[in-house]
Every structure is written in C-alpha cells, then in structure tokens.
Amino acid sequence: MSKAAVELNGKTILVTGSPGFIGANLVLRLMRELSGGIVISLDNMNDYYDPALKEYRLSLIEKAAETSPVRHVFIRGSIADKPLVNRVFEEYRPDVVVNLAAQAGVRYSIDHPDAYIESNLIGFYNILEAMRAHPVEHFVFASSSSVYGGNKKVPFSVEDKVDCPVSLYAATKKADELIAHSYAKLYDIPSTALRFFTVYGPAGRPDMFYFSATKKLVEGGNIRIFNYGNCERDFTYVDDVTEGVLRVMRGAPEKETGDDGLPVPPFSIYNIGGETPVGLLEFIDTLQEELVRAGVLPSDYDFASHRELVPMQPGDVPVTYADASTLERDFGFRPTIRIREGLRRFAEWYSEFYNT
C-alpha cells in the first residue's frame, strides 16, 4: 500500500504506554529530534513490575524536556478510563497516536486474564472511539510476535495466517489488529500495526528473561531455562525498535476509495524483529559474559550450578523469527544491533543503575 508522508515537527503526538520501556525510548527520540510540537505521555504507572523503573524513565524524559524545543505533557491514567481518554483527545487533539499501552507478558495472562481484557481490549477500543470523534493523520499501535502462535513456518511473515494464538495475550493482540482494521475501513483511520519481536535493552521490563535472569544470578538464585534450552528468539534491541516505529510514524497508509465508493481500509502490518534468531543457550552464555565484563558478576561465578533446565511453559512457543522484508521495502530499514552489543549496553546500564 502506498504511503502518505506525515510531518511530525510541530505536531501533537500522543504516546500511550510512555514511560513504559518502548514508549520512553520513543519519546526521548522525539524530544531529541523534533524541532517543535507537543508530545503527550499517558500511562497509569501500574505495579505489574517495579514502578521505580517507570519513574526513572519519566525522569529521563523530563530532563530531556528541559532543553528540547518540544513540549512534553505527562498524564497519569489508564486507557481503560474512557472519560479520561476522551478528555485527552478533546483538549489536545493529537495529530498522531502511538498506542504502546498494554498489559504485557505471556505467562502473566494465564493467572491474570482480567488485566488483559481491561487494557488490551477495552483500553484499545477507547482509543479507537476517541479517534473516530477526533480524526488523526496516523494511528500506530503495538501488536506482538505472539500472534504467530504455533506457526511452524519460519521466518514469520505478515502474510502468514495468525488464527491459532496459544495465549490470551496473543489473542488480545490479534483482536486489536482485527478491530483496528474494521475501524480503518469504517472510519478511514490510517492505521499501522507493529509486531514486535522480543524487545530488550537497558531499563527494560524486569519480567523479561534477560533482566529477571540477571537479578536472580546477582542474588545467587537459579535461572530456569525453558524447553531445556531448545528455544530460539528473534531478540530485537530497543533502539532498533524505536527507529522502526519512528520511520513508520512518518508514513501512513494512503487513503483510497474502492470500486464500491467506500474506503479501502488504510491499514498496514509490519514485523519489527532482528531477523537473526538466537538459541536461548547462546543468548544466556553471551549475557553471562557481558555481566562479568561489566562487573555485575565476579569472573569466577559458577554459572553451571545456577542453571535449571525445565519443560516448556504454557503459552510459550519454541521459535520466533521475523521476516522484516516489508519494513525494509517500505521504509528502508531493518534492525542491525546484534545481541553482543545489545547485552553489553544492558549489562553496563545494570551495573550503573543498581550500583553493582
């Protein structure tokens, strides 16, 4: 689908889920690179993981705002709060919306399904309804590689069927894509879904394996390696994800009229993944080496005694592998940061942040 150029300078941009992990990194890029406008961060700062990390990311954004020509506004609240969402749209009239707010985590969805329905479905619907009343130039939202479920064909292509999710989290993300497509068709809302593949990096989510494993090793605990280590993940460094999101924001699916006189849905989907799946055991070995290098762990740390091989967990899949060729075709970008460099940056940040 052809693209309509979206100028971000001087615009009002709403980023939900900031100061979450990806959201905070995106807002920091916008604060650094735009020459004017307003960026609105909306997040409820919940305690799914340590809120201190969100406060830390928010402090980085506020510091950047002191010298940025872009005005930053932080609104504490949930996208599931429909009156709040409506007030934000009525007051600020955003030109571009990036919805990154969601209840994340595959395993957490097994025991806490209500959180996923509230945020990923009701909250998502609230954003769409607000845009129906207040049209935007481009709606970009986070989907997930989890929608590919148990697909056997790799790499995963956006052309693949994604009808067999293996977790509630994945099902809500697939539902978001379907609902957004229907709103794009009915109300001509230019929309782009981004399927992220295992995002990692400094100040990331503590529930992600690389972060939680580091904490357990520092505390002398054992790390559980699922499927006995027979997993591969398409790990994607957060800077690559941010670059991909930023490029996509600037190119909205172009509005067209079909033969029936009705809108052709201005809707696109892209994978944002590293395109180089890494075995879980190789990833763990690299992480351990970088933790030693950064001084997070001593050089004589007995890693072998702190590993526990366990079966696959419900909701997990053995392999994730992105085909990001459409992203490169339409936006001239594919991820470039490999795990050695990415984990080195994480380990150095961890050492500084936790004073190890």
Q: Where are the domains of the chain?
A: 3-199+237-274+320-336
Q: What is the pLDDT of residues 83-92, one digit of tens each?
A: 999 999 999 9
- Please pick, among 49, 148, 169, 270, the residue that the annotation labels catalytic: 169
**Taking the chain, what is the end-to-end CA distance rounded to the nearest angstrom?**
49
Residue 42: helix, strand or coil by DSSP?
Answer: strand
Give the pLDDT band (50/70/90) at residue 321: confident
Q: What is the pLDDT of residues 258-283, one digit of tens each?
A: 888 888 999 999 999 987 889 999 99
Model pTM greater than 0.75? Answer: yes
Give yes or no: 210 in active site: no
pLDDT given for residue 315 in this prediction = 63
For the purposes of burial, counting CB atoms within 10 Å of the CB of 311, is it exposed (0-12), middle (13-18) or buried (19 or more)?
exposed
Residue 138: helix, strand or coil by DSSP?
Answer: strand
Asked if residues 244 and 331 have their Cβ atoms less than 8 Å apart, the reply is yes
CA separation for the pair 156, 95 (Å, rounded): 32
Judge whether residue 108 has pLDDT over 90.
no
CATH 3.40.50.720 fits 3-199+237-274+320-336, yes or no: yes
Q: What is the pLDDT of residues 155-181, one digit of tens each?
A: 999 999 998 888 999 999 999 999 999
Q: How many CB atoms lie within 10 A of CB 28?
A: 21
In this structure, what token pair is assigned to residue 304? Answer: 């072998």
* 18-30 mean pLDDT: 97
Asked if residues 8 and 91 have their Cβ atoms less than 8 Å apart, the reply is no
